Structure 1
Amino acid sequence: MTVSLSAQKTDMNQFIDNLMSRMTLDEKIGQLTLLPGGDVTTGQLMNSPLAERAQQGRLGAVLNFKGADKIKALQQIAVKKSRLGIPLLIGLDVIHGYETVLPIPLAQACSWDTAAVEAGAALAAREASADGINWVYSPMVDVAHEPRWGRIAEGYGEDPFLSGLMGAAAVRGYQGRHNEYGKDHVMACLKHYALYSATEAGKDYSCVDMSRLRMYNQYFPSYKTVVEAGVGSVMSSFNIVDGIPATANKWLMTDVLRNQWHFDGFTVTDYASINEMTPLGYSKGATSAVRALKAGTDMDMCALAFDRYIKSALDDGSLTMADVDKAVRRVLEAKYKLGLFDDPYHYCNPKQTEKSIYTPTNRKLARDIAAETFVLLKNDNNVLPLKKQGTIALIGPLADDRSNLVGCWSTGDKPAKYTTIKEAMQKYLGSSAKVVYAQGCNIYSDSLRQRAVEFGRPLPWGDTAKMLREAVDAAKGADVVVACLGEMAEMSGESSTRTDLTLPDVQKNLLKALLNTGKPVVLLNFAGRPTVLTWESSHVPAIMNVWFAGSETGDALCDVLFGDKVPTGKLVNTMPRSMGQLPIFYNHISSSRPVADGNKVFRKYQSNYIDETTGPLYPFGYGLSYTTYKYGDVVLSAPSMTKDGKITASVTVTNTGDRDGDEIVEMYIHDRFSSIVRPVKELKGFRRIHLAKGATATVTFDIDATTLSYLDAEGRPFLEPGDFEIMIGPNSRDVKKAVLNVK
């Protein structure tokens, strides 16, 4: 017999009521305390501060603590030696896979494949849960317009609609399709709420300031979509919102998150962010702790602020027991939903670890997902796909490295198990073609700068002149050159802001030398962010953005480079022509004196640059294939609709090339005239379709009030009568249009 949701909730409430009635104040404060673990052995653990707190019932959760044996040992202390036996949450930054590492989230979004994102998150949950983890700090859906900001790698790009769908897919993968938290699932944590990505000048932990109108329409929708998907927890961001740190912002944490969006999980701070209110100049000590708790923050990550100050705040009346109990209940509910009270050791089975981690099945899925994320930016004279014959010169500092391919925030990776691109290509080609390799250059000409960004993932440092000669010699003797250049893994991610996103000078010098040999060159651009490839786009015949594709990068690249799979990835961030254009994004507000993208002649007293062409190098949604597609005109099922009506927009797409392929069809809208000025276009739908060569398909999108509405500064939806442009095409620039009138 199936138990109803209401009955389950009643059972949970009764259980937690009973448990809380027996808890001391210290034990309640303990549930709100999250502390970092460490790389200790099981024996050392028994005498550690964590073990002492767990035994005293003064610890609610641990992060950065790995290994089923160690986690089980700590969980046993919490369950068997503490007075009430309350189990622990065990959290980790499982951002894009565990030991089987998936592409970084930015790359995953370039697949425009929500099913793949869900499958990847489910894979990550299987592996992490098999190693003792029950709570993951993912997905991140911060809408990012600023590629100088390194954490752009962790999110899904610049569009709120796409980011929200990708984040919701990840939640389904982590938590189960119906948030059932089955045996292979974990609790997800939405981050960073809110606006963290809108930091000034791309600097991490810096100021954020914007209107509420922009919050609701351009930044909040992705968070809201993930909340509606049932995410179990939410992490507050470091930045201020309306002048108040997010962690202490009641409007953000309670009024919007809980009252408007009906979030019913628990909230946690980012790392020690309660203490970081002090350098912001907002508050310190007990005041920070009180403001955070009263705002709606439930768990304190690593600041020990609740631990230090809740008792005194209760004594002086600045907090009430109701404030504390509200937060405690939410944390206990999370543990109940995960089944930890029924089976505290469910996630601590060493035998399951052996069966579930880095299996052939997991590796194949990661390889297939990676192949969908590569974005072909240029392919003159059909240099790609490569022929499986002749001699291929594989050149670059990333061509024979196994630790940087996974990208940033890979907390469970085991690089010794992974295959380099060189190894994968040699195995893939066997005796059918010859692969010659040369490192070619360092990442930077300055060894100190390179060492600064290695962060545990070093690359060999070599003699610049010697490496360049070796690379040129290899290229001269080859039929084609594949250059593996770009960023190291830790050049993007947290605390990895860059002021110059062009290819570092020593790498560009190598690329120029390779081009000067006269051999066709394929540039594989490794990056955790959009980079500036203007010079490369003008000189290199073929360019493919390969991001950081995870542990199976080598094999996945071979699949696409040699044509076993057709590239299908499309950009989820606009790629600029120059650094001076930043931030740049497709869904901007029009100037009152606009100049069309691509305009090369400076126009005085118009919105353009003296020294740069208007518009991006590559637009949002852009990506080529080994085949070609032709789009028909946009056809509306009716020329007009009422506010409560519904119509469809359709387009025919024909595969006009000689290869089967997958195409991503994108739909945008633009409200021509509105009481509040709207962006020049907004993504409102997309379809990923498979077309055999010569085949035609009709792709249809539903349009209703939800599609066309915008939000006011209070978060209320509005749909005004008037004309809307409905745009469909292969990217945000090359679209066909039709006009819909709303009455």
Structure 2
Amino acid sequence: MTFDRRDLLIRTLGGVLALGLPRRALAQTDVARVDALIAKMTLEEKAGQMTCLADSFRPFNPPNPQVGIQDEKRLAQEIRKGRVGCLFNGIGVAGGRRAQEIAVKDSRLGIPLLFAGDVIHGLKTIFPVPLAEASSFDPALCERTARAQAIEATAAGLHLTFAPMVDVARDQRWGRVVEGAGEDVTLTGLLSAARIRGFQGRDLRRDDSLLACPKHFAAYGAVAAGLEYGNVDISEETLRETHLPPFGKAFAAGALTTMAAFNEINGVPATADSELLTDILRGEMQFRGFVFSDYTADEELVAHGFAEDDRDAARLAVLAGVDMSMQSGLYIRYLPDLVKSGAVPMGTIDVAVRRILYVKAAIGLFDNPWRSLNEEAEKTRIFTPAHRALSREAATRSVVLLKNEGVLPIDPARRQAIALIGPFAQDTANLYGPWAFYGDPDKGVDIATGLRAALPDPTKLTITRGSDISGPIDGGIAKAVAAAKAADIVLLAIGESQAMSGEAQSRTVIEIPPAQQALADAVAATGKPVVILLRHGRALALHDGVANAQAILATWFLGSEAGHAIADILLGKVDPSGKLPVSFPWESGQEPFYYDRKSTGRPVLGNGSSEYKARYATTDNSARFPFGHGLTYTDFVLDQLKLSDSALRWDAAIEVTARITNKGDRKGSEVVQLYTRDRVASRTRPIRELKRMARVTLAPGESKTVRFSLSRVDLEFVGARSQRIAEPGAFDLWVGQSSVGGLKGEFTLYAKS
């Protein structure tokens, strides 16, 4: 397997694989320091460095099952004995300093603790959930928001975040779709790398640099039937072509840690898969950092039926290549005896400890154990006006206009009567989405608050709940219908609660809950113009009064500034420019569904017969709203597609250009997308694959030429014997505004001369 390593920050130093830094290699003195420490460490102290436990010194907001949580006094004793190397999910400088002081001053070797946490899309300033932010199709935005999150997280005493999630997710029933960048390999890789650059910054030793931990290695997004923690039965080609490349981009961006996945792959749990964690990760992908288990995942090898007991689970995990055990405590309990008995070589332990200590050295912990534990920074760098402004910008960029029959934007000068209806109309409990447990719910801006602040006459806004999220309320629909009839336009805020997305929230039906659907149908029956404001963490199958509304906005979980951002879009202060990173199906039963599927031998072609073709009896094999789809308030037109040559030479490139023109009367932004298809190959190829994208902002009447370059490398796929290859032949190409339609061209890849 070949990965793009141009930006890989890893070097060989003194015959030892050392971790690289932006602009600075790991110093020889750091290598010598680590060598000296390892020579002094007892087996128990080594196992301690390989142990990560929940932080009891600081406020702990548990997103996980309560397994093995220790009180502060007991945890302090473990740290004194050198039996802990990392604490996670506690924040606060004072508690962090207490814990670090024990590690540095009271333990025998004084090795500093690493402080980690789940900062997935914000600490106190909450940004849009990653799936929402992926709608921006903008790596630069993702890098900026990750940088802001790093500034806050490090000010609160963290060194590492368990993010980004780089799993390609193609089944919307899976709750953790919300944590990633969606269904596409290229987009996921680009945005994940951008987030890693943002988290870590340009110098890992700065106190605002936050180590990234891309997860979950690997193929967690391919769990069968979208079932959380489920099994993955996958071909070698699909694993290597779809699920591993985004990790290659993440490691090339400088990530120094990663996390093994909960799932098994073809019968072997990832936490015990030496082929995955050693042969592929360390061998082929040349990863030189260290690997976390997921939360108690090593212990769960017993439940998988892969390990005989906890002792055997610890043995299997460490031999496979898991360097740090999270929360189970198996390593500190069993590794010393496993080494003494000969079941685990001492060399395996030393390599794992070396990797962990190298990372600690790379971020400067040995020179300054108090980095990221500054009380002044904690007071001044968290929930700042600048971060809130960025959150609002990111939120507006994350909104996707799915449909608009001329009702948006709302002209505030017309002073229309607006009915805001639905369980999310003035709800603050579901603004942030999952994995935002450090945030303060009372500081989020709901839709009603945002609209009142934006409307010139707030008295024109009436608010009615209509229904609860999961059930009806007495008289709710009647009040909603009355409010709709009295209004000029209806805003219907419906969708999922934040508890319906995220870890352990797989759903068999990805639709609007029945009580809310009934509300939508009743409001639609009034005949008033309806704008749907969807709140959700996945693509949804929309029906009846929702699907047939005059306008639909995908507003996801937008974070702290959700209400202001939605008002900005509704009233036209900001034009929508988001694009779908996931396909919206017609029906739940289409899942898993994704745009770059195979044609099959019996595809439905154009308006031809669909009998005995690859389609469902109730719907065809397409999306209601396809990947890459997203409207604006203006009218963009593409024309003049040109290729610099009809022949792509083996070691050359071709330039693809197209003109885009804003033919509307508003300034706006469009994401131009380039897709290709290999017509004939030794492995069947998808109907389209995203290769390039470019964001263009144009004034009314303005035109611009968009340029893309394609080379043979862009056309490679995984062929026989799991080798990446490109095959000479004919290719189709589209430049468009979504994964459907667009300007079509063609070229031929010529064999190496």
**TM-score interval for Structure 1 and Structure 2 normalised by the shorter chain:** over 0.9
Using the size of structure 1 for normalisation, the TM-score is 0.94
1:296 pairs with 321, 325, 335, which one?
321
Q: Which residue of 2 aligns with 1:452?
A: none
1:390 paired with 2:399, answer: no
Kindly indicate whether residue 101 of structure 2 is the aligned counterpart of residue 76 of structure 1.
Answer: yes
Letter in 1 for 2:244: F
Aligned-partner SS, 1:344:
coil
Partner in structure 2 of residue 454 of structure 1: none
Residue in structure 2 matched with residue 615 of structure 1 by the alignment: 622
Separation in 2 of the partners of 1:617 and 1:99? 36
Tell me which of 465, 477, 496 is aligned to 2:474.
Answer: 465
2:122 counterpart residue number: 97
Distance 1:361 1:34, change over 3 A: same
Could you list the per-position Cα deviations for residues 363-412 of structure 1 after superposition, in whole angstroms to 9, with x for gaps in the alignment?
00010011000010110124334435232111111111112110011021
Q: Could you list the per-position Cα deviations for residues 336-380 of structure 1 after superposition, in whole angstroms to 9, with x for gaps in the alignment?
A: 111111111111122211101111111000100110000101101
Cα distance between partner residues in 2 of 1:545 and 1:499: 21
1:699 is aligned to 2:711: no
1:134 equivalent among 151, 159, 172: 159
Paired residue for 1:458? none
Aligned to 2:194: 169
**Equivalent residues in 2 for 1:232-271 (5 A)?**
232-271=256-295
1: CA distance, partners of 2:194 / 2:31: 29
- In 2, the alpha carbon distance for the partners of 1:397 and 1:579 equals 23
Which residue, 431, 438, 456 being the options, matches 1:405?
A: 431
Residue 309 of structure 1 pairs with residue 316 of structure 2: no
Aligned pairs (5 A) from 1:702-741 = 702-712=709-719, 715-741=722-748
Q: How does 1:264-279 map to 2 (within 5 A)?
A: 264-279=288-303
- In 1, the alpha carbon distance for the partners of 2:475 and 2:389 equals 38
Q: List aligned pairs for 1:82-481, cutoff 5 A.
A: 82-176=107-201, 178=202, 180-283=204-307, 284-388=309-413, 389-431=415-457, 434-445=460-471, 464-481=473-490
Give the C-alpha shift of residue 181 in structure 1. 4.2
Distance, in Å, in 1 between the alignment partners of 2:597 and 2:88 is 39
Distance 2:24 2:473 in 1: 68
Check conservation: 2:56, 2:71, Cα contact below 8 A.
no
Indicate how the Cα distance of structure 1 residues 465 and 686 shifts in structure 2: closer, same or farther if over 3 A, else same: same
SS of corresponding position for 1:166: helix
Match of 1:490 in 2: 499
Deviations 1:530-559 (Å, cap 9, x if unpaired)?
001143465210000000000110111111
* CA distance in 1 between partners of 2:264 and 2:59 (Å): 39
Question: Tell me, what secondary structure is at the counterpart of 1:48?
Answer: helix
Give the distance between the partners of 2:656 and 2:434, measured in 1 at CA. Answer: 40
Counterpart in the other structure of 1:576: 585
Which SS does the other structure have where 1:77 is aligned? helix
Give distance in 1, aligned partners of 2:447 and 2:592. 33
* Alpha-carbon distance, 1:137 to partner: 0.3
SS at match of 2:420: strand
The corresponding residue for 2:8 is: none
Q: Which moved more, 1:249-258 or 1:115-124?
A: 249-258
Q: In the alignment, which of 628, 653, 656 is matched to residue 649 of structure 1?
A: 656
* Alpha-carbon distance, 1:500 to partner: 1.1
The 3-state SS of whatever aligns with 2:532 is strand
> Relative to 1, partners in 2 of residues 1:621 and 1:297: Cα closer, same or farther, differing over 3 Å?
same
Partner of 1:459: none
CA contact (8 A) 2:34 2:358 kept: yes
Provide the rounded CA distance (Å) in 1 between the counterparts of 2:616 and 2:659: 38
From 640, 652, 667, the equivalent of 2:647 is 640
* SS of residue in 1 equivalent to 2:412: coil
Instruction: Identify which range, 424-433 or 555-564, moves more after superposition.
Output: 424-433
Spell out, residue by residue over 1:273-297, the C-alpha distance to the aligned partner (whole angstroms, 9 max, x if none).
1111111111132222122111111
* Preserved contact between residue 107 and residue 548 of structure 1 (Cα < 8 Å): yes
Report the Cα distance in structure 1 between the residues aligned to 2:483 and 2:655, rounded to whole angstroms.
56
Distance 2:607 2:254 in 1: 43
The answer for the alignment partner of 1:448 in structure 2 is none
Cα distance change on mapping 1:386 and 1:288 into 2, 3 Å: farther
- Residue 708 of structure 1 deviates from its aligned partner by 1.1
Secondary structure in 1 matching 2:708: strand
- Amino acid of the residue matched to residue 32 of structure 1? M
- Is residue 383–residue 520 contact of structure 1 (8 Å, CA) maintained in 2? no
Q: Could you tell me whether the CA contact under 8 Å between 1:521 and 1:542 is conserved in 2?
A: yes
Partner of 2:683: 676
Deviation at 1:478, TM superposition (A): 1.5
Residues 629, 316 of structure 1: alpha-carbon distance in 2 compared, 3 angstrom cutoff = same
Question: Which AA in structure 1 matches 2:248?
Answer: K
Contact 1:142/1:192, CA 8 A, preserved across alignment: yes
Measure how far apart 1:315 and its partner are: 2.1
Give, as a single letter, the amino acid of the residue that structure 2 aligns with 1:376: L
TM-score computed with the length of structure 2 as normaliser: 0.93
Indicate the SS of the match to 2:333: helix
Amino acid at match of 1:61: C
Partner deviation per Cα, 1:213-243 (whole Å, 9 max, x = no partner)? 1111111111111111111200000111232
* Residues in 2 aligned to 1:487 and 1:128: alpha-carbon distance in whole angstroms: 28
* Residue 317 of structure 1, CA deviation: 1.3
Q: Secondary structure at the match of 1:267?
A: strand
Q: For 1:561, give the aligned amino acid.
A: L
Match of 2:509 in 1: 500
Distance 1:351 1:580, change over 3 A: same
Aligned residue type for 1:585: Y
Instruction: Provide the aligned C-alpha RMSD in A.
Output: 1.9
Aligned pairs for 1:515-594 within 5 A = 515-536=524-545, 538-594=547-603
The amino acid that maps onto 2:585 is P
Alpha carbons of 1:276 and 1:538: their partners in 2 closer, same or farther (altered >3 Å)? closer
Greater CA drift, 509-518 or 191-200: 509-518
Identical positions, percent:
38
1:443/1:561 CA distance change after superposition, 3 Å: same
Contact 1:68-1:348 at 8 Å conserved across structures: yes
Distance 1:714 1:186 in 2: 38
Report if the CA contact (8 A) 2:604-2:610 is conserved: no
- CA 1:130–1:597 in 2, change beyond 3 Å: closer, same or farther? farther
1:502 Cα shift?
Answer: 1.4
The one-letter code matched in structure 1 to 2:419 is A
Distance 2:70 2:216 in 1: 31
1:679 Cα shift? 1.0
Say if 1:38 and 1:64, in contact at 8 Å, map to a contact too.
no
How far apart, CA to CA, are the structure 1 residues paired with 2:199 and 2:553? 30
Amino acid at match of 1:398: F
**Matched residue of 1:706: which SS?**
helix
**Structure 2 counterpart SS, 1:464:** coil
Q: Distance in 2 between matches of 1:420 and 1:687?
A: 32
